[in-house]
Amino acid sequence: MTLATLKRSDAVPPNETIVRVLRDDLTLDPENDPKLGNDEVLHLYRHMVMTRQLDERLVALQRQGRIGFHVGSLGEEGAILGSAYAMRKGDFLFPCYREFGAALMRGLELQVFVHNMFGNAKDTVLGRQMPDHYTCRRVGWGSISSPVGTQITQAVGFAWGAKIQKKDVATLAYFGDGATSSSDFHSGMNFAGVFKLPTVFFCRNNGWAISVPVERQTASRTFAEKAAAYGIPGVRVDGNDLFAVVATVQKAVERGVRGEGPTLIEAITYRMGGHSTSDDPNRYRGSEMLEPWASRDPIGRVRAYLEKHDLWDGTAEERLIAEVDASFKAAVKVAEHTPPPPLESMFEDVYARPPWHLQEQRQEVLSGPRAPNPHGS
């Protein structure tokens, strides 16, 4: 295989430079085995399945016009959940916008998440942002913005703040291959390298930034090798190998908290769906490009491992999916019957206290005419 094809977005990369643990024969490579207990593997597997099931349901809700938007993680569940699992309690994760499954695993309640998808009065961010832009400080989860890459420097600053106060906190910044072209990627990697900060730069190389393939993001042979320019380690990991992801992120965190600085991890995975519900990937890629990745599905691989060890079977799978569906349905019912945020909430939290001009504008809205279809588009 030539260098040019090494990172083509439709090709599974070869083995040699990539951390892999779960072998094709379903044994674990002892060199990097994170030594997860059976209960841990089951826990992660359940969350991967739940994430995929919720993705499907949320897309359906969007197609029915019941929510406005969803940005999913189909095919990337191993990279997302494995990395979040490796972060310790008290560490902070700075999401891109494709990682709701990780937030749920860290303790964001499904109902709170679903309220956010509906942007209603119980949404913790009061419908101020699009769906999937929730926040949850108490589980170490940042606030999500749509501009690409901006969370990277913030994850660095957060870890830096903790280090200045001599607190043991590591951070993880999620971003995609597209964000490696942003100035925040450069600044974040550079600052964290200079100040040896405990940040894990977790790049989900999923092949695509909306319609733009990785070849258009960089002329570098890999994303991981960019780390060399910042004097930090860069590691490529099979992002569809849950065990390898957990092990790689754990090592990066350990390195960070030892004071040795950040690590760039390139998790090689594939975006099996569109960029978001607003995107039609058939316009720019053929379905044949998905085939090599479908056979390396991160969920299917773990399921095969669990079944081999008699830890899982079809009945358990059916029961889990039924449970997820039931709790999602119940959460949607509650969210759909929850009113929109109150009008005056539009003017709160702009500042700690509304200054005179916002008080005036709030009064103007409250005493003025209502929009003809206030909650439609």
Partner 1 sequence: MPQMNMVQAINDGLRTAMRDDSRVVILGEDVGRVGGVFRVTAGLFDEFGDDRVIDTPLSENGIVGSAVGMALYGLVPIVEIQFADFIWPAYDQIVNELSKYRYRSGGEYPAKVVIRAPVGGGIRGGHYHSQHPEAAFIHVPGLKVVCPSSAYDAKGLLLASIADPDPVIFFEPKRVYRAAKGDVPSGPYTVALGSAAIVRSGRHVTVLAYGAMLYEALDAAAKASLQGVEAEVIDLRTLWPVDIQTILESVKRTGRLVVVHEAPRTCGFGAELVSLVVERAFYHLEAPPVRVTGFDTPFPYTLEMEYLPLSHRILPALLEAVKH
Verify whether residue 174 is a known catalytic residue.
no
- Told to check if 89 binds partner 1 by CB under 8 A, we report no
Residues in region 355-374 near partner 1 by CB under 8 A: 355-357
Cβ nearer to partner 1, comparing 34 with 142: 142
Is 247 within 8 Å of 34 (Cβ atoms)? yes
185: how many CB neighbours lie within 10 A of its CB?
A: 23
- Per this entry, what is the length of the chain? 377
What is the distance between the alpha carbons of residues 179 and 176, in angstroms, rounded to a whole number? 6
Amino acid symbol at 126: L
Number of H helices, E strands in the chain: 12, 9
- DSSP assignment letter at 181: G
Q: Which residues pair with 28 in a beta bridge?
A: 22
> Which region holds residue 242: left if phi is over 0, alpha if psi is between -120 and 50, else beta?
alpha
Residues 219-278 that bind partner 1 (CB under 8 A): none
Q: Is 158 in the site for partner 1 (CB under 8 A)?
A: yes
Residue 161 or 292: which CB sits closer to partner 1? 161
Q: Which of 156, 172, 268, 332 binds partner 1 (CB under 8 A)?
A: 156
Stretch that binds partner 1, among 126-134, 249-257, 318-326, 366-374 (CB under 8 A): 126-134
CB of 187 to partner 1, least distance (A): 3
CB 218 to partner 1: min, Å: 19
Catalytic residue flag (residue 216): no
Chosen residue from 8, 26, 43, 157 binding partner 1 by CB under 8 A: 157
The residue from 9, 51, 83, 154 that contacts partner 1 (CB under 8 A) is 154
Catalytic residue among 20, 204, 271, 301: 271
Of 351 and 370, nearer to partner 1 (C-beta) is: 351
Rounded to the nearest whole angstrom, what is the least distance from the CB of residue 257 to partner 1 in the complex?
16
Q: Which of 196, 200, 302 is nearest to 251 (CA)?
A: 200
Q: State the Cα–Cα distance between residues 248 and 238, nearest whole angstrom.
A: 10
Nearer to partner 1, 234 or 341 (CB): 341
Residue 271 designated active-site: yes
Burial of 357 per CB tally in 10 Å (0-12, 13-18, 19+): exposed
Look at residue 16 and give its three-state secondary structure: coil
- In terms of Cβ atoms closer than 10 Å to its own Cβ (0-12, 13-18, 19+), residue 53 is middle
Judge whether 253 and 91 are in contact, CB under 8 Å: yes
**Which of 97, 197, 189, 80 is closest to 147 using CA atoms?**
97
Structure token digits, residue 120: 């209603």
Burial-class residue 153 by CB neighbours within 10 Å (0-12, 13-18, 19+): buried
Please, which of residues 134-153 interact with partner 1 by CB under 8 A?
A: 135-137, 142-143, 145, 147, 150, 152-153
- In angstroms, what is the minimal distance from the CB of 183 to partner 1? 5
Write down the least CB distance from residue 110 to partner 1, Å: 18
Smallest gap from residue 252 Cβ to partner 1 (A): 18
343 binds partner 1 (CB under 8 A): no
Angle between the 314-336 and 110-118 helix axes, to the nearest 10 degrees? 50
Q: Which of 115, 133, 275, 296 is catalytic?
A: 275
**What is the pattern of x (binds partner 1, CB under 8 A) and - over residues 160-199?**
xxx-xx---x-x-----------xx-xxx-xx--x-----
The minimum distance between CB 337 and partner 1, in angstroms, equals: 21
Active site residues per annotation: 271, 275, 284
Chain residues in the site for partner 1 (CB under 8 A): 123-126, 128-129, 133, 135-137, 142-143, 145, 147, 150, 152-162, 164-165, 169, 171, 183-184, 186-188, 190-191, 194, 348-352, 355-357
